Amino acid sequence: MPELPEVETTRRGLALKLDGRRIARIEAHRPDLRFPLPKNFAKTIQGRRVEALERRAKYILIRLEGGLVWLVHLGMSGRMLLRLGWPNDIGPHDHVVFATDEGWSVTYNDARRFGMMDLVPAAALPRHRLLAELGPEPLADDFTPAVLQAALKGKKTPMKAALLDQTVVAGLGNIYVCEALFRAVISPKRLAGTVPPEKLKKLVPAIKAVLNEAIKAGGSSLRDYVQSDGELGYFQTRFRVYDREGQACTACEKPVKRIVQSGRSTFYCAACQR
């Protein structure tokens, strides 16, 4: 699943061509994705100007004139690909295609169809069922060790699971939690409520650093993900523990271990991370 860096990279790529432009044409090639598309979806969007592109957690928010927000989640395999001109080769998984008045088109491709799109009045956005309970943005200034400590207080779930809880911090996924915990030398198995404040003071900067480095690298291309221009991200070449089972730890040279937590693979160094 595209995580925060992949979604942010996609948002930035789209913003270059969509910001300030009018949606001149839009076609939905099926009535639903993970959920049904809103009634009159394409008709409601067509003709509106894009006022801004934002991100909240793993969601892209396309703000349209008239106080409407086009909410997009890429799901497991969704991608939004830019090209100049309307595509002549629309495939079976190209579910939504739209173009601006400047001639740039965007194709939303989603083979597994776990993505979603919704149209939300801007005033109702904070109360949307998918956004209302989200925690703080990890790259925001107000995401601090004190905030994280308060969110983890009393939690008896493993640290890895706690950081994947979107009500604790929004947008973190499996890859970047593994990488941040390694940098902060915290075991993914440790109970979240027992992590001392001094370790959290290392963890929060580690989370921010990992995410910023991944965004700069265009995200991590694993399986389906590509950037909006079709290029692959390359942060996967910089993984320190993720997907490195049995390879030498970059800090102590002991083999990286893999365990399964909540149905997901966790990679860590048992010698370094306590």
Secondary structure of the chain as H, E, C letters: CCCHHHHHHHHHHHHHHHCCCEEEEEEECCCECCCECCCCHHHHHCCCEEEEEEEECCEEEEEECCCEEEEEECCCCCEEEEEECCCCCCCCCEEEEEEECCCEEEEEECCCCCCEEEEEEHHHHHHCCCCCCCCCCCCCCCCCHHHHHHHHCCCCCEHHHHHHCCCCCCCCCHHHHHHHHHHCCCCCCCEHHHCCHHHHHHHHHHHHHHHHHHHHCCCCCCCCCCCCCCCCCCHHHHCCCCCCCCCECCCCCCECEEEEECCEEEEECCCCCC
Q: In what order do the strands lie in the sheet with 23-28?
A: 23-28, 94-100, 104-109, 79-84
For residue 226, the model assigns a pLDDT of 43
For residue 230, the model assigns a pLDDT of 53
- Vertex 109: Cα angle to 167 and 236 (nearest 5): 60
Residues 172-211: pLDDT tens digits? 999 999 999 999 999 999 999 999 999 999 999 999 999 9
Query: Quick check: 59 and 6 in contact, CB under 8 A?
Result: no
Residues 29-49: pLDDT tens digits? 999 999 999 999 999 999 999
Long-range contact list for 160-163, CB < 8 A, 24+ apart? 160/188, 160/189, 160/261, 160/262, 160/266, 161/192, 161/261, 161/262, 162/192, 163/192, 163/207
Looking at the domain 4-127, which fold is it? Answer: N-terminal domain of MutM-like DNA repair proteins (3.20.190)
For the chain, give the percent of residues with pLDDT over 70: 93
For residue 221, the model assigns a pLDDT of 43
Q: What CATH number was assigned to the domain covering residues 145-268? A: 1.10.8.50
Higher per-residue confidence, 236 vs 33: 33
9-13, 65-69, 144-148: the lowest-pLDDT one: 9-13
For residue 222, the model assigns a pLDDT of 44
User: Considering the chain, what is the average pLDDT of its residues?
Assistant: 93
For residue 2, the model assigns a pLDDT of 80
pLDDT at 165 over 90: yes
For residue 218, the model assigns a pLDDT of 73
Domain boundaries, the chain: 4-127, 145-268
Residues 99-128: pLDDT tens digits? 999 999 999 999 999 999 999 999 999 999
Cut 0.75: pTM above it:
yes
Active-site residue numbers?
2-3, 58, 264
pLDDT at 26 over 60: yes
Average pLDDT over residues 132-146: 97
